């Protein structure tokens, strides 16, 4: 007999987001522009509610005849993803209002993008996975080009669409090959059938398609351009919530669907991880635009995350959750800090504009410094724990070359991270930034606190039973 309550709770976050999204469309149609301002609060509450529902059924379950299946591993990612999406929506309103683009469609697009993230995290079938990816992607294309009067934003949206279309095509073709050679679209069925030579080609194409989605090198192509051109609140969203969800989905598919072919995909993931770390780190050294710099930094950090994936489920699952959580939180805080870079002439993005920030905005400078030290992986900040666990996972899996590249890439990254610190604390002050929205400043400070050592110890506990270890234990063996 079907346990209806368990089924409903398994898909409760996604049902809630679909319902609130449709209600938002209805309210927008009825109230028009009068709904614009309230839509941001409405959307944030919807996303925080979805996170709460994921917590209530944290152990997971199965629904729709096996098309959807959740466990602690994916529900951990859901909670973090929905919370970050909600915060990114809260900090967006002031920016959009100043640029006269405060429209309720923005909040609804974030809700539907988050619905897509929830679906891909819950997917237990290739059809469910593809449906979720397209829901996320279509919303993301519009968000990237949301500032339609800006040539840069329109260009970012077009480039993101081209990249996304190529990735979707690769993924769909790979999925069709896997289905053709295994005779099933179910994750469990594919794992049981094993990976034949034909299915191996499909697996490789799926890996390439998913690598495009997480902006891993050499499939990163226009990622820095999208980061530079898209509206800053949109990039804050892209760099946090979808990055967390997509990376966890990537790992979940390789661990649970293609686990028997680990010897085949480990070398592919190792190459992608190594290229991502080096291209991201070296590319960031040359940047003077802070959004492009963070774009290249995100490519390098995807490389670190993929080291944990290459290490396999036993060694890498908990390390992946720890690292991606710390990075996603830190990334949101850093883009919130970029939102603070506003003067009478409008937003500024050059790293030189941070000159003397320690004297003009000491609280912002301290918080941003903590975030920079964290993402650089310096002790005793949160990012150190993330990189430590990734490095340890690589060593335990005997991926010595990757472990060496983690260290080399981290040392290279100090070149541009410490450059930002030097500009903020030692350069002559530039014109003072205007007062920032309370929500933006609160986000910068809050994420700096979270990126500190105390909170992150509870997540990682250096692999001895922390939240990430508990969540990773829920993956099927």
Reported as a single tens digit per residue, the pLDDT across 323-339 is 999 999 999 999 999 99
Element housing 452 (H / E): none
Least confident of 220-229, 231-240, 313-322: 220-229
How is residue 63 written in tokens? 């629904």
Element housing 281 (H / E): helix 262-285
Report the alpha-carbon distance of residue 123 to residue 114 in Å, rounded.
14
Half-sphere exposure (CA, 13 Å, Cβ side) for 313?
Answer: 20
Q: Which of 385, 115, 77, 372 has its CA nearest to residue 240?
A: 77
Report the alpha-carbon distance of residue 386 to residue 148 in Å, rounded.
38
Report the alpha-carbon distance of residue 453 to residue 446 in Å, rounded.
13
At residue 457, the pLDDT reads 53
At residue 428, the pLDDT reads 87
The b-or-e profile of 254-293 (16+ CB within 10 A means b, else e) is bbbbbbebbeebbebbbebbbbbbbbbbbbbeebeebbbb
At residue 2, the pLDDT reads 54
How is residue 332 written in tokens? 């949101």
- Report the percentage of the chain scoring pLDDT > 70: 96
Looking at every residue in the chain, the average pLDDT score rounds to 90
At residue 434, the pLDDT reads 83
The pairing of strands 62-63 and 68-69 is: antiparallel
pLDDT at residue 159 tops 70: yes
Model confidence band, residue 187 (pLDDT cutoffs 50, 70, 90): very high
Q: Which of 269, 295, 289, 399 has its CA nearest to residue 391?
A: 399
- For residues 78 and 51, the answer to whether their CB atoms sit within 8 Å is yes
How is residue 419 written in tokens? 């450059």
Model confidence band, residue 46 (pLDDT cutoffs 50, 70, 90): very high
Model confidence band, residue 385 (pLDDT cutoffs 50, 70, 90): confident
Report the alpha-carbon distance of residue 16 to residue 51 in Å, rounded.
10
At residue 456, the pLDDT reads 52
Per-residue DSSP letter, 34? G
Which residues neighbour 160 within 8 Å (Cβ) at sequence distance 6 or greater?
140, 141, 144, 145, 222, 226, 230
Mean pLDDT of 83-92: 94
pLDDT in tens, 268-288: 999 999 999 999 999 999 899
Mean pLDDT of 115-138: 95
pLDDT at residue 477 tops 80: no
Mean pLDDT of 10-29: 95
The b-or-e profile of 93-111 (16+ CB within 10 A means b, else e) is bbbbeebebbbbbbbbbbb
Report the alpha-carbon distance of residue 41 to residue 47 in Å, rounded.
10
At residue 209, the pLDDT reads 92
Alpha helices in 91-150 (DSSP H): 92-98, 104-122, 126-144
Per-residue DSSP letter, 287? -
Model confidence band, residue 465 (pLDDT cutoffs 50, 70, 90): very low
3-state SS string over 391-417?
HHHHHHCCCHHHHHHHHHHHHHHHHHH
pLDDT at residue 1 tops 80: no
Q: Which of 379, 350, 375, 354 has its CA nearest to residue 364?
A: 354
At residue 464, the pLDDT reads 40
Q: Is 100 helix (H, G, I), strand (E, B) or coil?
A: coil
User: Distances from the Cα of 465 to the Cαs of 208, 259, 261, 476, in angstroms?
Assistant: 33, 24, 28, 18
pLDDT in tens, 191-215: 999 888 889 999 999 999 999 889 8
Who has greater pLDDT, 430 or 190? 190
Per-residue DSSP letter, 218? T
Report the alpha-carbon distance of residue 162 to residue 348 in Å, rounded.
28
pLDDT at residue 410 tops 80: yes
Model confidence band, residue 436 (pLDDT cutoffs 50, 70, 90): confident
Who has greater pLDDT, 22 or 146? 22
């Amino acid at each position: 007999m079907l346990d209806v309550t368990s089924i409903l709770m398994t898909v409760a976050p996604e049902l809630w987001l679909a319902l609130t999204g449709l209600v938002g469309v209805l309210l927008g149609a009825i109230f028009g522009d009068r709904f614009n301002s309230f839509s941001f609060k409405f959307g944030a509450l919807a996303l925080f509610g979805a996170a709460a529902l994921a917590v209530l059924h944290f152990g997971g379950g199965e629904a729709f005849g096996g098309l959807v299946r959740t466990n602690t591993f994916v529900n951990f990612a859901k909670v973090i993803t929905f919370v970050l999406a909600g915060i990114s929506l809260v900090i967006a309103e002031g920016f959009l209002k100043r640029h006269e683009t405060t429209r309720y469609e923005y909040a609804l697009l974030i809700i539907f993008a988050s619905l897509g993230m929830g679906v891909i995290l819950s997917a237990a079938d290739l059809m469910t996975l593809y449906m979720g990816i397209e829901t996320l992607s279509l919303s993301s294309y519009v968000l990237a080009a949301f500032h339609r009067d800006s040539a840069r934003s329109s260009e970012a949206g077009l480039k993101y669409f081209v990249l996304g279309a190529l990735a979707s095509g690769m993924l769909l073709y790979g999925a069709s090959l896997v289905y053709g050679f295994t005779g099933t679209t179910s994750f469990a069925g594919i794992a049981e059938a094993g990976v034949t030579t034909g299915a191996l080609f499909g697996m490789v194409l799926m890996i390439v398609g998913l690598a495009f989605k997480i902006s891993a090198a050499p499939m990163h192509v226009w990622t820095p351009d999208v980061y530079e051109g898209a509206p800053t609140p949109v990039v804050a969203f892209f760099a946090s919530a979808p990055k967390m969800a997509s990376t966890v989905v990537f790992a979940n598919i390789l661990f649970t669907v293609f686990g028997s072919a680990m010897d085949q995909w480990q070398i592919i993931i190792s190459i992608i991880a190594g290229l991502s770390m080096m291209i991201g780190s070296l590319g960031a050294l040359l940047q003077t635009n802070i959004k492009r710099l963070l774009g290249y930094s995100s490519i390098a950090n995807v490389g670190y995350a993929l080291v944990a994936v290459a290490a396999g489920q036993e060694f890498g699952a908990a390390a992946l959750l720890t690292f991606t959580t710390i990075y996603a939180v830190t990334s949101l805080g850093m883009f919130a800090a970029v939102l603070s870079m506003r003067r009478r002439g409008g937003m500024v993005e050059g790293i030189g504009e941070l000159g003397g920030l320690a004297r003009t905005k000491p609280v912002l400078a301290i918080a941003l410094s903590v975030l920079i030290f964290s993402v650089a992986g310096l002790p005793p900040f949160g990012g150190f724990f993330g990189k430590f666990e990734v490095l340890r996972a690589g060593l335990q899996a005997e991926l010595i070359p990757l472990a060496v590249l983690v260290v080399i890439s981290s040392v290279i990254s100090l070149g541009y991270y410490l450059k930002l610190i030097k500009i903020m604390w030692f350069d002559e002050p530039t014109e003072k930034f205007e007062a920032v929205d309370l929500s933006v400043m609160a986000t910068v400070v809050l994420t700096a606190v979270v990126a500190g050592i105390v909170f992150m110890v509870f997540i990682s506990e250096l692999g001895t039973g922390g939240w990430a270890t508990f969540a990773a234990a829920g993956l099927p063996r």
